[in-house]
Structure 1
Amino acid sequence: MSSHYPIPMSLDELLAEARRLTGIDRDDNAVREPLEILLRDLNGPSCLHQHGAIAKQNKLLRLLCNRLRMQRDFAAHPEIAEQEVCAPVFVLGMARSGTTKTQRVLAATGDFNYMPFWQVQYPALFSGDPNESTQPRIDAADAYCRWLDETVPESKTGHDFATFAAEEDSLLTEQCFVAPSFFAYSEVPEYMTWFAGLGSQGMITNVEFLKDVLKYLQWQGLASADKPWVLKAPTYYGFEPELLSVFPDAKLVMTHRTPLATVPSICKLLKYFHMPFGDAFVDPVGLQSALAGQLNLHLANRQRITDLPILDYPFEAMVKNSTAIAEAIYQFCGMPFTEATRSRIAAWDGENPAHAKGKFVYSLEEFGLSQAGIETEMAGYVAFVAELRARFGV
C-alpha cells in the first residue's frame, strides 16, 4: 500500500471551505487554473505523507482565505489602491548568499518598512475592521513557527522563521498563486512548467500582487508611506525588468557568493523545507541547471540594461562588516546614514551572531555535485563573483 497521501479536499471543496471560514461569498475564479495544476502536483510527484497532506491543505486554505479577505477590503475601501509605495529597496541574490542578513540588518535600523513573518503569513484583516487587534494573526503565525521548529528543527540552522523577524516576499506572493517559490517546499514540476510558460507576465503578476499588499499594509497602519520598503526574495534575480516595470523607482541591492557554496547549501535547505510535507526531494542536478539558467538570464539583463539601478557586494564583505555594507546601501539609495542607524546595526549584530542556531553543514558530495560541473555550467557567474571579491579584497 502506498504511503503517499492526497490532499483530502478537491479544488471546489477548498474554495468552498475558504468562503465558509471567512464568511465572504465571492467567486475567486482567478485562482482556479494555477490551483488545479498545483493540486495535481501535490497529489502526485510531491509524495505527501499523511501529516504533510493535512499541513499542505491548511496552507492552501490560509492562502485562499487571505485572498478573499484582501479582495473584500479592496472592494470596500477603494482608497487602499491610492496608497503610494515609493522607491522600495529589493535585495536580490541566490539563496544562501546573504540576502536574509542584508534584509534583517536594514530592517533593524527603523529606517525602512519591512514585513515580519506574521504579516507575510497573515497580511489580511480577519474581520475587515482596520482597528481589529493584530494578536490573533500574530498568534497563528507564531504557532506555525513552533510547528516548523518541532517538525524539522535542523532547518532553523539554515533559515530561522521567527514571528517578528523580517521575512522574504516569496512566501507572501504565493497568495496570488502565480509564484515560482512553490517548488521550495514540494516537488511541483507541472506547476513550474506552467509558470515558465507565462513568460515575463508570470513574474509581473507576482510583483503586482506584492505592490497591492504593500498598499494594504500601509492602509492598515502597519507601515508608513514616508519610509521605503526593504523587500527580498531569492526568486527575483533574472527578473529585474519585471521588478522595474512595476516599481520603476526601485533600487536593487544584490548579494553575491560563489555557487560552489550556494548550490549545495540550497540543496540542503530545500531538503529540510520539503520534509514537513512529503518524501520527494529536489533533484540536485536539475536544480543546478535551473539556477544556472536564472543566473545567465540575470547576466544577460546586466548587458542589456546599461542603467540598471543595482549595487553589488560579495557575501564575505557583509559577513566581515555589515555596517560598512549598510552605509554603502544608504548612500546608493540617497538616504542619510546616522549615528542612531549605526548603533542599531551594531546592536542587531551583537544579538544575532553567526551560527547562533547551530552551524549549517553541507557539501557538494552530499548531493552528487562537483566543482567542475558547477564551474562549467555557471562559468559566467563564477567569473563575475571572482572579480567582485577581488575588487572588495575578500
Structure 2
Amino acid sequence: MAEGAIRAGRKLGWVDPVRLEKDYLLEEAARATGLDDFGDRWFERPFEVLLDSVKREARLNTAGDFSAMKMFHHVLRDRLYTQMWFKRHPEILARPLKNPVVIVGPMRSGTTRLHRLLASDRRFAHLRSFETISPVPRPGYEAVMDGEEEDFRLKLASRILKVARLANPRTLSIHPTGPFEPEEELGLIAASMYGMKWEAQWHVPGYSKWCAGESAVPAYRHMADLLRLIGWSQQESSLRPWILKTPQHMLDLPALLEVFPDARLIFTHRDPKRVVGSAASLAWNQTIIYSDQNDPVETGREWLGKTAMMIERMRAARDSIPRERMIDVQYDDMENDWRATMERVYRFLGFDIEPAIGGMQAYLDRSARLKRRPHRYSLEEFGLAEGEVDERFANYAETYGIPVENAAQPARLRRVAG
C-alpha cells in the first residue's frame, strides 16, 4: 500500500524524488533548520560509504528509498539541533557520565530483559524508546521542561512505531517496545552514520566491511555527548549511573572503554544456535520492509558471519579488562531463576537489590500480560544447519560454559523470550 501511494504521489508531484547524495542531504537539513554546524565532521566518511552501499547493494523498493531519505534527513537535522543545544547550554557537555553499567551480548541473548530489569531501578538512568528514535529535543524544549508543552518526540515515536507495526507486525513481536519502554542506545551510535542499525535494516555488505575496519571512537564520543543531552533534557541527576546496552558494543569494546573508561560490563551468553537464528530472523523481518529482493540464505550467511565477528572481537577485547570490572550472565540462568541471577549482578555492582525487587516484578508482570505473537523461526529457513553453527562456535560455548542444545535433536520452530 505504501509503495503505491508513494509512486502515485511522485507522479502527481506531491512527493519529492529521492536523492541519496551527501551534499544534497546536508544542504537540505541546513535549509530546513537554518543551522549549519553538524559537529564533528567524521560522520561524513561513513555517510559516504553508506550512501554508496545503499545505492549499489541494498536493492531498495520505492518505500525503501523514500524512507532512507527521511531517515538521513532526521539524523542530519538532529546533529544540527545537537550543536545548537550545546551552544545555548554549554553546561550540558560538563555533565559527568560516571560508572555506566554496560550490557554486552550478541543480538537475542537476553540483553533486553536484563536491561529492562535494571532500568526498573530508579537508582539508574536509562534511555526510553522515544529518546533513541529521536534523541535530540526540538527548539523551544525549555517550555517542555517547564511543563508548559508536550514533547513532540513522543508523538513522533508513536507514529514511527505505528508505521513499523503496519509495515511488518512481526518486527514488534520480535522486539516489543513502546515510546516509554527502556531502550538501547543503538540510535545514538547511528547518529554518526555508523553501526549495526543500518546493517540490520538494509543489505549493505560493503558498508559493513568498511565499518569493521574503522575505529568507532568518534561515534562513541558523539553517543556520550547525546547521553549528556538526554540526561539534561530528562532533568536526570548526573549522579545516577547509566544503564546501556546494544550488540554494537560486542564489535567496539575498545572504543567503548576509551570513551567510558570506568564502565562496568555485564556479558550475556546464549546457545549460539538461538542467537544466530533469531538475529537472522530479526534482520530479515526488517529488510523485507525496504526491499523486494531478499534472499533468506544470504541473510543467514551474513548474520552467521556477523555473530562470529562479534564474538571474536568481544573475546579479544576482554583480555585487557580487569576481571573485577566484568561479570558473565547466562540466558538459561535468567530463564530458570531470574532473581538469583539478578542478586549476583547486584553484588557485582555493589548495590542492595531489595529496593529494586518491586519494580523488577512489576516489569515482569507487565511483560507477561502483553498479548503478542510469539517469535517463531528456524535456522533451516535461513539455509543454516544446527550442526554447522554448533561447530563454528564450539570453543566459545565451552570457554564460557554456555548450555547448548543437542544438534541431533529434530529441527523445530522456536518460541523465544528475548
Q: Common fold, TM-score beyond 0.5?
A: yes
Aligned to 1:328: 344
CA distance in 1, matches of 2:108, 2:46: 28
Aligned to 1:244: 257
Residues 249-305 of structure 1 show CA distances to partners (whole Å, capped at 9, x for unaligned) of 111111110111110111111001112222344531232123212212222333444
Structure 1 residues 308, 368: CA separation in 2 closer, same or farther (over 3 Å shift)?
farther
Give how far 1:210 is off: 1.6
Aligned to 1:360: 375
CA distance in 2, matches of 1:143, 1:324: 39
Structure 1 residues 373, 166: CA separation in 2 closer, same or farther (over 3 Å shift)?
same
Residues 234-261 of structure 1 show CA distances to partners (whole Å, capped at 9, x for unaligned) of 1112433322221111111111101111
Structure 1 residues 251, 50: CA separation in 2 closer, same or farther (over 3 Å shift)?
same
Aligned to 2:239: 226
Give how far 1:99 is off: 0.4
Q: Aligned pair 1:276/2:289, yes or no? A: yes
State the TM-score, normalized to the length of structure 1: 0.90
| Root-mean-square deviation (Å) | 2.3
Residues 302-332 of structure 1 show CA distances to partners (whole Å, capped at 9, x for unaligned) of 3444536211111111123333322222211
CA distance in 2, matches of 1:105, 1:27: 36
SS in structure 2 of the partner of residue 357 of structure 1? coil
Aligned to 1:261: 274
Identity between Structure 1 and Structure 2 (%): 27
User: 2:270 is aligned with what amino acid?
Assistant: R
Moved more, 184-193 or 145-154: 184-193
Gaps spanning 5+ residues in structure 1: where?
none
Aligned to 1:82: 94
Asked if the contact 2:284/2:299 (under 8 Å) is kept, the reply is no
User: 2:197 is aligned with what amino acid?
Assistant: S
CA distance in 1, matches of 2:370, 2:384: 25
CA distance in 2, matches of 1:335, 1:30: 39
Gaps spanning 5+ residues in structure 2: where?
8-16, 405-418
SS in structure 1 of the partner of residue 244 of structure 2? strand
Asked if the contact 2:135/2:230 (under 8 Å) is kept, the reply is yes
Aligned to 1:17: 28
Moved more, 305-314 or 106-115: 305-314
CA distance in 2, matches of 1:21, 1:122: 17
SS in structure 1 of the partner of residue 37 of structure 2? coil
CA distance in 1, matches of 2:220, 2:29: 24
CA distance in 2, matches of 1:246, 1:27: 20
Aligned to 2:58: 46
State the TM-score, normalized to the length of structure 2: 0.85
Q: Aligned pair 1:119/2:135, yes or no? A: no
SS in structure 2 of the partner of residue 276 of structure 1? helix
CA distance in 2, matches of 1:335, 1:36: 45
Give how far 1:81 is off: 1.3
Aligned to 2:11: none
Give how far 1:122 is off: 1.5
SS in structure 2 of the partner of residue 313 of structure 1? strand
Runs of 4+ displaced beyond 4 Å = none
Query: Matches of residues 290-369 of structure 1 in structure 2 within 5 Å?
Result: 290-307=306-323, 309-338=325-354, 340-353=355-368, 356-369=371-384
User: 2:377 is aligned with what amino acid?
Assistant: Y
Moved more, 176-185 or 257-266: 176-185
User: 2:206 is aligned with what amino acid?
Assistant: E
Give how far 1:207 is off: 1.8
Q: Aligned pair 1:165/2:181, yes or no? A: yes
Aligned to 1:375: 390
Structure 1 residues 306, 389: CA separation in 2 closer, same or farther (over 3 Å shift)?
farther
Query: Matches of residues 78-117 of structure 1 in structure 2 within 5 Å?
Result: 78-117=90-129
CA distance in 2, matches of 1:293, 1:109: 33
Aligned residues: 382
SS in structure 1 of the partner of residue 249 of structure 2? coil
SS in structure 2 of the partner of residue 312 of structure 1? strand
Give how far 1:366 is off: 1.0
Asked if the contact 1:274/1:280 (under 8 Å) is kept, the reply is no
CA distance in 2, matches of 1:316, 1:124: 37
CA distance in 2, matches of 1:367, 1:90: 31
CA distance in 1, matches of 2:235, 2:388: 46
